[in-house]
Structure 1
Amino acid sequence: MLAGKRILLIIGGGIAAFKALDLIRRLRERGATVTPVLTRAGEEFVTPLSASALAARKVYRDLFDLTDEAEMGHIELSRDADLVVVAPCTADLMAKMAGGHADDLASTLLMATDKRVLIAPAMNVRMWEHPATRRNLATLRGDGILVAGPNDGNMACGEYGPGRMAEPMEIVGAVEAALMDGPLKGRHVLVTSGPTHEPIDPVRYIANRSSGAQGTAIARALAALGARVTFVTGPAEVAPPQGVEVVRVETAREMLAAVEAALPADAAVFAAAVADWRMAEDVAQKMKKEAGGVPTLRFAENPDILATVAAMGDGRPGLVVGFAAETERVVEHATAKRARKGCDWIVANDVSPATGIMGGAENAVVLITGAGAEDWPRMTKDQVAGRLAARIAAALG
């Protein structure tokens, strides 16, 4: 899939830089040519010799190297590639990119390139969650920068949380998706998936039986058609697909915030099974079982993510697709939901226990559009996803 593709790989500083060496090897196994660029901080973790040996190419390091400028100027280097990858992408590099700085070779290349850029962030969990990093990330997404990861995990500093660089094969998948030609190439599609978990107290929560399998399959199918996919997922049972930007959330309010941050998009598919209610007040301590009765729970209504996006003005995606999981009168309820929510399409299915669809491998859906109801035969969730992705591609032209 990557045969003949040229990757400019910028290796930032950080302990995750060692993964960049394996990334070079994985990309070359798939036929790609990799040209490494080492930042000054990157050289503290990866030697130029190791990167050069694995890439079988010269490593570029200094903006003011006259020999390099004579052989290939930094402007030419920035454009003599099909994709620019930054892995690891530190908080400092993200800040430079968001602010338009160009004070070393790496940042100058990123400013001068006319190619797509994919970053794989890697940093301490507190740095990743810092408001400045969140602002920079939003700016980069708005500029069309692709993002792979980061993942949750143990940090070299001993902390745990989001900030671990995506694994090399995850980045390879994102590279393949970025370079893939298809009817949705150049389009941005937002997909929500999985359940939400609404805390009752620190140890209990409200949820439903959604596995996230159908939303995951849809994101994968859209990426296969060349789309840039932002995948906002609740605590799903299935792993997210490779080659898409993954944003993990837990509650409905977090999901709405992530959706709004991911816009604008050409299309949005709301496959997540969002809990309708949450606790009216936060409970700081575990509710104790006491004699004399069952505790009374007071609920508040969660935000309606589908209706909120469908009602947007200039920021509304061109195609808004909702889902309706029903247990009776599927077409009637789904048709009413489409009108009530203001979305363009509704994908409806019968999730009665007897169907085995909720959490199962197959699905049987009805597509509700302005033209009416279209029954689809029972098929695997991957097949449903492929058919829906093709319809989205056709609708977007």
Structure 2
Amino acid sequence: MVTFNKLILKSISSKFYRSIGLVVIGFVVSFSLIMTSLIIIGMKHGSENVVDRMGADIIVVPKNYGNEIEGMLLTTQKSYFYMNDSIVDKIKSIDGIDKISTQTFLMTLDASCCDQSAQIIGIDIDTDFTVTPWMDKKFINSLDEGEIIAGDRVAVRENKTFKMFGDSYKVSAILDESGSMMDNTVFVSRKNMPVMIDKARKAGQGIVKEVGADDISAVLISVIDKSQIQQIVGKLSSIDGIDIVTTDMVSSKLSSGLKEMSTVYILIIALIVVVSILLLYFIYYITLNERKSEIEILRTIGISRRKVKRFLISEISIISFAGACLGVILGFVFYVVLYQIIKNTNKIPLVSPTIKEEIIIALYGFLITFILGPICAYTRINKVCPKEVIK
């Protein structure tokens, strides 16, 4: 058995460049499967989180800023826009509304004012139903002056504080990762915002645009009957100076974008697999033909047809195993790097797959690549291994 294994390894090393070429083909297939699957699932989780994190059925923003709020939800971009809070009374007069909560957006000029450049959102903690449900293992009933809620990607210090405008703020809770704008956001109580803005002004470290106590950026609405959303949107449309965004609108755009990107990725991986199968088939066709004399010698010295086939299959399996392992390992490494780049650029919602999903992806990426080589070579092996040897 030891001699048999040594013979296999010697055969692989004797045709070093051919073996390396076959390993590279296996690597490309495995790497592509792993990377594509991780990206598609990560985008799917990110898209689902965006819709879930909206919390509201309807979001009302100032006129001409509907696309801005969608951009904040879909691409994690930062923004700011304002309208007077008198709009809330008009919205409350509409039948069918269950909950209403307001938010005010601030955006810091740069990281010099804070531990990092951040979107600051003032929330009404008493009426909020979109932020507090997503806090990491903690629920709070109030945000006192000097306290904040931090997104998952906010650079919170080890002592659970975050510095803004010269002061350190206690981080009362940290949100779970969402893949959206919320990950890079600091949430404060709206009633404490005037004090914060005053501190920023005194410190000479301002925000992009100052706001008044009566200014709000968005009104988040939860309706009693989800089937009545469109009717309520129709009633809201009669109010001047607003844009309306619904969960369905955001979900539809996300689904459409995800479907298009998934289709492109799947087509690419399908093309890679098909080309790899053809390459493997022709390479094994040529190399096994070249090894006919070698195989006949093995048969002549008394090695059975079954052992010759096992020898060739084992050799190909080792090469496929090496390519599959290399592809899985580097696929995950490159995904981690890509994930960090996407997190830093904040262009698309992306959330890492779960450990269970990663294990499943690794297994199927490895198995598909591992069996591809032997399958492509099996038919040719049967043909080049003679059943009888002429003596």
TM-score calculated relative to the size of structure 1: 0.21
Instruction: Please state which structure has a larger fraction of its residues in strand.
Output: 1
TM-score calculated relative to the size of structure 2: 0.22
State the structure with more CA Rg: 2
Instruction: Please state which structure has a larger fraction of its residues in helix.
Output: 2
